């Protein structure tokens, strides 16, 4: 990880490969969850891989990396999915477990969680 005080979150996280590793650790947790798995139940492997790449691009872009996110905004992407508060809480639990797995330092962990929490109003419908 970069120690530069002015380094972007993307750089402090370790760049592209680190974001990919997080996505590859997080997605199986989500798809295998008894409550959250319904969101991927009827998706083909290609669709899941495309979604993973969009997630990687989104996270890299929002963390200050050089990626350009070409996907839809969070509201449009999640509209009609009926994501509940309970779903969100389970998602956050899996995200925290992933961050624990990588032993993310407290500062970066806090920034990641704060950013993800900032998207909640665009994602949770009910």
- Max Cα distance, the chain (Å): 44
In the predicted structure, residue 5 carries a pLDDT above the cut 90? no
Per-position b or e across 31-64, b if 16+ CB within 10 A of its CB: eebeebeebbeeeeeeeeeebeebbbbbbbbbbe
In the predicted structure, residue 2 carries a pLDDT above the cut 50? no
Instruction: Check residue 48 and report its DSSP letter.
Output: H
Spatial separation of the C-alpha atoms in residues 83 and 17, rounded to whole Å? 29
Beta strands in the chain, from DSSP E residues, in sequence order = none
Instruction: Check residue 80 and report its DSSP letter.
Output: T
Q: Where are the domains of the chain?
A: 9-123
Spatial separation of the C-alpha atoms in residues 63 and 46, rounded to whole Å? 26
Domain 9-123 is in which class?
mainly alpha
Query: What tens digit of pLDDT does each residue of 57-99 get?
Result: 999 999 999 988 999 999 999 999 999 999 999 999 999 999 9
């Amino acid at each position: 990880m970069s120690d530069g005080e002015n380094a972007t979150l993307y750089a402090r996280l370790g760049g592209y490969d680190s974001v990919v590793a997080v996505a590859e650790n997080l997605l199986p947790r989500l798809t295998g969850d008894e409550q959250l798995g319904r969101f991927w139940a009827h998706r083909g492997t290609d669709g899941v891989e495309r979604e993973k790449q969009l997630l990687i691009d989104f996270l890299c872009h929002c963390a200050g990396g050089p990626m350009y996110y070409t996907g839809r905004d969070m509201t449009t992407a999640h509209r009609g999915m009926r994501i509940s508060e309970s779903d969100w809480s389970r998602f956050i639990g899996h995200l925290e477990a992933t961050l624990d797995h990588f032993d993310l330092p407290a500062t970066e962990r806090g920034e990641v969680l704060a950013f993800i929490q900032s998207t909640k109003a665009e994602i949770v419908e009910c």
